């Protein structure tokens, strides 16, 4: 039933570890995104994929690598986690160029 889902909802890990966040949408949308919300609630685009092709890569460190196995999935893998990576990561999707982006519930990542 859920339109855009993310797993896990919470992720607590140690500095230096590698972790992944998964996103799936069942809306039949063509484009998917990752946004980062920092501790001050500021939301910023990280990546977008259209039909499995990378469209936006917004000056994100190389430690972050998105992967889109198919149109309905966009995963985010983070290597060598740092304290500053602690944030809420939101996945979003949209259908057409001018359509609204719908967001997943967010994944709160805490790096200790």
- Choose, by CB under 8 A, the member of 35, 36, 66, 74 that binds another protein: 35
Burial label for 30, CB within 10 Å (0-12, 13-18, 19+), is middle
56: nearest Cα among 73, 35, 42, 37: 35
Should residue 40 be labelled a site residue for another protein when binding is judged by CB under 8 A? yes
In the complex, least distance from residue 16 CB atom to another protein, rounded to whole angstroms: 27
Question: Residue 96: how many CB atoms within 10 A of its CB?
Answer: 9
Bridge partner list, 93: 32, 102
Nearer to another protein, 14 or 40 (CB): 40
Residues 9 and 55: their CA atoms lie apart, in Å, by 26
Should residue 26 be labelled a site residue for another protein when binding is judged by CB under 8 A? no
Per rule CB under 8 A, count of chain residues that contact another protein: 27
Binding site for another protein (CB under 8 A): 31, 33, 35, 40-45, 48, 55-56, 58, 88, 90, 92, 94, 97-98, 100-106, 108
């Amino acid at each position: 039933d859920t339109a855009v889902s993310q797993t896990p909802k919470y992720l607590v890990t140690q500095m230096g570890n590698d972790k992944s966040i998964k996103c799936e949408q069942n809306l039949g949308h063509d484009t998917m995104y990752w946004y980062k919300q920092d501790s001050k609630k500021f939301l910023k685009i990280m990546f977008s994929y259209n039909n499995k092709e990378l469209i936006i890569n917004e000056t994100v460190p190389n430690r972050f690598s998105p992967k889109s196995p198919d149109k309905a999935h966009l995963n985010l893998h983070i290597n060598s986690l740092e304290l500053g990576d602690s944030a809420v990561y939101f996945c979003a999707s949209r259908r057409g160029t001018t359509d609204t982006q719908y967001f997943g519930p967010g994944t709160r990542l805490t790096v200790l």
